[in-house]
Structures are given as structure tokens and as C-alpha cells.
């Protein structure tokens, strides 16, 4: 059985992508206490928790074949002002490199924001690839969109696959697009609780009406017409309203401004719906009891997309099996 460690684990979406192929998690690391609580609610509480990866004693990390990590993206994103290696959080990749070398791990999968590809005119990306290459790996990377791999979320992320050089694998082909042309959003936007309705008699609705009347939106939208459509997505996170049909914009950790229409009403995107849009199976929704909606939205916004990881592993698994023969 292929075993892996799950670092910067968040709520374990990457883990789920690997487990779809029968791989076994032998340890995980995360520093956000709320995310750890959700992770353990989803995957069970056992002795697999390793603590903060920047202070891990490598001798105490279980042996494994593969490492997966969604290393912190704040410093490489627009929100994080793209400081990159100048920010302490951007140094997490050095801790990952240390673990890869000391544990002699054969393979890795890393994920980060698309912006990493062009920060500092591509110099930061080159530095990361060189670091990983110097750690003993052939490194391959590509920007993939979750929308192309089975969920209706427009989520572009850069993925790195590393294969230890002594395994003599000089090529890795990332998966090709395989999205459905028409997603049925009713499979994902399933929340029926009235608390997620934007009530016309509420202060929040007054705020929304003022938003529609600002200098960017005034005269462009008729709310009555918008409400005639079901599952029309309204993204209010910018000054200008953005509409989406049969697709959902990128979920984000700290900015929750997605609404949608259903049966003549405006509804907020819920944390449970955000999980579905990240590829979590509906079975996980029953495990969210006691976790706040705000926490779920943020944690889903910070997660990997299960489907995308599973599809990358589908391409990597033959390489792994060949080298295990």
C-alpha cells in the first residue's frame, strides 16, 4: 500500500484525492486549530497528528512514499501582496524540502495559487523549482482549473509533481481537461435552511440594494429579472457585480460574497455547499455539526479540490506502481 503524509493539510481535501486511489495517510500537519478540528471531524482523531511542520523532528515523522502539501498561498496571492520569499510564510517550502530530503520520500504533490507562476516575473517560481530540484527531484508543474476536473468552480491553481531523481523518470504528463460542458448546479447548491436567504426586510438586503446602486452597477441590473432565473450566481466581492451561469467563481478564504438565485429568492452560499464545490462527497456534510458556517466557508476556500488531486494521482499512480515492482 502506498503511504503518504499530509502537510499544510487544511481540512484534508488532498488526502481525500489520494485515498480515492487506495493510498493511506500516516500523518498530517496543520497549525490552524479550527482546521485541525474539522480535519479530525472528517477523517477521525488518532495519533497521526504531527504538529507544526516547521518544528517537526524528522526522526518522528512516519516513513512514507509520498508527501502532499498545499503550502501557504497568502504570500504568493493578490491578497497577500505577492511578497513571496520575503514573507516568513513563504519559507514553508524550505521546511518541506528538508523533510523530503531527510525522509527520502519518493514523490510529492504540492499546490499553490496561480499567481505564483508570474510573481517577480517568474523568478519566485524558478527559485522554488530549483530548490526542489536541488533536493533530489525531477519537478513538473502546471496550472490547472478545477472547473475542468468535475466541479463547477473556476479555480486555477499551480500544481507541482516531484519524482525522486534516482527513479529515473524524466517526464510526467498532467491530466487533460475532462469537464462536463453543462454542470447542474442543483447538485451542489442544496442548502434549504432559511437562514441563508437574503431577506428583503433585512439590513443586509438594504446593503445589497445600495451595492446595486453604486457607480459601478447603477442601471445595469434589474433585480426582478435576475430573480426569474434559478441558480444564477452573483459575485459581490468586487465593487462591480459579476454574474455566472452554470459555474461558480473561485472560493476564497477570507472574502465571502457569493449569492445565487433559487425559486425567486437570493441565497448565500453556505459552507456545506462550498465543500461540495471543492469535491467533498455529501457524506461529509453530516460531519460538520458544531462547525460554524463561517469557518466552513473559510476552510473550503483554503482547501485543495478533491477531484483535481485525484486526477493528478491517476496520472502519477502508474509511475508509482512501476517503480514498486
Q: Which residues are catalytic?
A: 73
Q: In whole angstroms, what is the distance from residue 148 CA to residue 154 CA?
A: 8
Sheet hosting strand 258-262, strand order edge to edge: 242-245, 232-235, 258-262, 265-268
Strands 24-28 and 3-7, how do they pair?
parallel
Single out the residue of 114, 9, 108, 119 nearest to residue 53, CA to CA.
Answer: 9
State in Å, rounded, how far the first CA of the chain is from the last one.
Answer: 12
Angle between helices 293-301 and 33-43 (to 10 degrees): 90
Task: List Cβ neighbours of 100 (8 Å cut-off, separation of 6 or more).
Answer: 67, 108, 132, 135, 136, 137, 162
Angle between helices 123-134 and 92-103 (to 10 degrees): 20
Which DSSP category does 140 fall into?
Answer: E
What's the full length of the chain, in residues?
325
Task: List Cβ neighbours of 264 (8 Å cut-off, separation of 6 or more).
Answer: 227, 228
Q: Contact, 96 vs 110, CB < 8 A? A: yes
Q: Contact, 259 vs 273, CB < 8 A? A: no
Q: In whole angstroms, what is the distance from residue 143 CA to residue 115 CA?
A: 10
Say whether 76 sits in a helix, a strand or coil: helix
Q: In whole angstroms, what is the distance from residue 163 CA to residue 242 CA?
A: 41
Amino acid at each position: 500500500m502506498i503511504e503518504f503524509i499530509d502537510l499544510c493539510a487544511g481540512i484534508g481535501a488532498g488526502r481525500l484525492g489520494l485515498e480515492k486511489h487506495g493510498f493511506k495517510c500516516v500523518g498530517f500537519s496543520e497549525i490552524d486549530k479550527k482546521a485541525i478540528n474539522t480535519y479530525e471531524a472528517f477523517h477521525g482523531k488518532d495519533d497521526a497528528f504531527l504538529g507544526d511542520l516547521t518544528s517537526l523532528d524528522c526522526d518522528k515523522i512516519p516513513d512514507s512514499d509520498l508527501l502532499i502539501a498545499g503550502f501557504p498561498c497568502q504570500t504568493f496571492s493578490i491578497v497577500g501582496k505577492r511578497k513571496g520569499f520575503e514573507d516568513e510564510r513563504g519559507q514553508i517550502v524550505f521546511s518541506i524540502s528538508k523533510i523530503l530530503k531527510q525522509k527520502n520520500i519518493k514523490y510529492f504533490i504540492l499546490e499553490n495559487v496561480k499567481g505564483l507562476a508570474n510573481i517577480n516575473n517568474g523568478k519566485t517560481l524558478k527559485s522554488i523549482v530549483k530548490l526542489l530540484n536541488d533536493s533530489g527531484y525531477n519537478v513538473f508543474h502546471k496550472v490547472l482549473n478545477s472547473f475542468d476536473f468535475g466541479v463547477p468552480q473556476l479555480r486555477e491553481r499551480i500544481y507541482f509533481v516531484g519524482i525522486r531523481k534516482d527513479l529515473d523518470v524524466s517526464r510526467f504528463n498532467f491530466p487533460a481537461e475532462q469537464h462536463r460542458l453543462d454542470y447542474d448546479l442543483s447538485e451542489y447548491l442544496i442548502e434549504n435552511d432559511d437562514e441563508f436567504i437574503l431577506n428583503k426586510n433585512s439590513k443586509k438586503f438594504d446593503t445589497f440594494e445600495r451595492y446595486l446602486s453604486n457607480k459601478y452597477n447603477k442601471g445595469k441590473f434589474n433585480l426582478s429579472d435576475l430573480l426569474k432565473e434559478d441558480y444564477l450566481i452573483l459575485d459581490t466581492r468586487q465593487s462591480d457585480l459579476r454574474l455566472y451561469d452554470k459555474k461558480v467563481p473561485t472560493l476564497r478564504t477570507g472574502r465571502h460574497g457569493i449569492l445565487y438565485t433559487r425559486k425567486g429568492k437570493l441565497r448565500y452560499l453556505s459552507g456545506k455547499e462550498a465543500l461540495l464545490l471543492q469535491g467533498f462527497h455529501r457524506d461529509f456534510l453530516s460531519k460538520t455539526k458544531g462547525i460554524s458556517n463561517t469557518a466552513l466557508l473559510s476552510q473550503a476556500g483554503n482547501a485543495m479540490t478533491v477531484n483535481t488531486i485525484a486526477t493528478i494521482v491517476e496520472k502519477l499512480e502508474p509511475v508509482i506502481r512501476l517503480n514498486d515492482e
